Amino acid sequence: MAGTKRRRIKAKPKHAPSITRLRGFEIASRPGQIRRLDPWRYLVKSQSNSRWYNVSWNKKIWMCTCPFNAKTHSACKHIYAVLERITNYLQESEVLCPSCGRSHLIVRRGYYKSRSGLVQRYQCKRCGAKFGARTGFNDVKYAATIVTTALDLYFKGLSLRSIADHINQIHGYHLSHLTIYRWTRKYVKLIVQYTNQLQPKVSQKWHVDEMRVNVNGGLRNLWNLMDGKTRYLIATQITRTKGTQEAKRLLKRGILQTDGQLTLVSDGLPSYETAVREIKKLAPHVQIKHITDRGLVKRNSNNRLERFNGTVRQRIKTMRGLDNTKSSKTFVKGFSTYYNYIRPHMALQGRTPSQVAKTWRAKGTNRWQSLIRASQAKPPRH
């Protein structure tokens, strides 16, 4: 009809998510709405009443017991909520191609089925390689969030069996406490190899102290060397005796790699004085000023390192001591890594010692995942 104005209808974006999918994303963002029974069965809470709907994989499609899915045979918001949760667990902050080492030309190519659930499949557009990334960690079938949760809870103070029970209740994975111990031993060794190559920027005032720890019913000596400004643990070791050679071995790790003036604060142990005299002969370019002070309120006190000793005692108390010499060395290396790179400090305005020492900064909020990924990263091929 002439003279009439046509109404303009706004075109729907080509890739705009549907309302059902958006509602599923909203359910997945709320805590406690999804329970994992196994890799192929989930429980999703109803948003209108107290019922729980079963979402399961039927070899070809996802099915739900809600009225919407039973009537329309289409994906409901509960199915989209489960898929969003699976995607979040499999999603990585940065995926590297195992062939060429690149990350900016990686695209997703769907999922494939495994015993642990759906696994994200990737393809590199640069070299054409196709690969699956269950975790981003080598030779581990579980999601990165599960592995890093276990590591974080272990060094925060939970026992191995408590961590296994937590992962079973919250995430639905039936893990053995021995599996968590193997993860701890494996990744501590990997991370230590990586962090030993880093050079922290520390100050010219260090603190050194030792403490007694229980190892298999006997007492051992845990030595710690810490920077006073950044709280960075420069060196640690665990020994049977507390003599000059042990003190010298600890101090040499840090002093021989520095130059200029250095102030060393220790307690009244005579081994430190003898060790400092011998190190001065080995490193004449370093001017070491040794201060012996036991006061907790004086300027040159050792209270910062004493606070760290209290943190270690609190963790070992949960473990009821260390089992043997081998496991104690693994724990000491892992806890020093946790203290330097993972644990934020109130005295450092919520930063880690590695951030203050400008050694390493995490990419994202999951520091464990970022640190393991950096330890496993290979240099790109040119």
pLDDT digits 0-9 by tens, 110-122: 766 665 556 677 8
What residue segments make up the domains of the chain, in order of their start?
20-89, 91-134, 143-194+360-382, 205-342
pLDDT at 379: 54
Higher local confidence (pLDDT), 218 or 131: 218
User: Which stretch of 6-15, 129-138, 309-318, 356-365 has the lowest confidence by average pLDDT?
Assistant: 6-15
CA distance 371 to 93: 12
pLDDT at 95: 64
Report how far apart, in Å, the C-alpha atoms of 247 and of each of 22, 67, 68, 210, 347 are. 61, 72, 71, 9, 28
User: Which stretch of 26-30, 34-38, 83-87, 305-309 has the lowest confidence by average pLDDT?
Assistant: 83-87
Q: What is the mean pLDDT of the chain?
A: 81
pLDDT at 83: 83
pLDDT tens digit string along 91-144? Answer: 544 566 767 766 678 887 876 666 555 667 788 888 888 876 555 466 677 777
Tally Cβ neighbours within 10 Å of residue 15: 5
Alpha helices in 230-337 (DSSP H): 244-255, 270-282, 303-319, 325-337
pLDDT tens digit string along 327-361? Answer: 788 888 999 999 999 999 888 898 999 999 999 98
pLDDT at 9: 42
The answer to whether 237 touches 223, Cβ cutoff 8 Å, is yes
* Fold of the domain built from segment(s) 205-342: Nucleotidyltransferase; domain 5 (3.30.420)
Higher local confidence (pLDDT), 227 or 122: 227
Q: pLDDT > 70: what percent of the chain? A: 83
User: Per-residue pLDDT averaged across 179-205, rounded?
Assistant: 91
Fold matches, 91-134 and 205-342: no
Cα 229 → chain centroid: 24
Confidence of residue 1 (pLDDT cuts 50, 70, 90): very low
Strand partners, 62: 57
Architecture per CATH, 91-134: Single Sheet (2.20)
Higher local confidence (pLDDT), 31 or 192: 192
pLDDT tens digit string along 53-86? Answer: 999 988 778 899 999 998 888 889 999 888 887 7
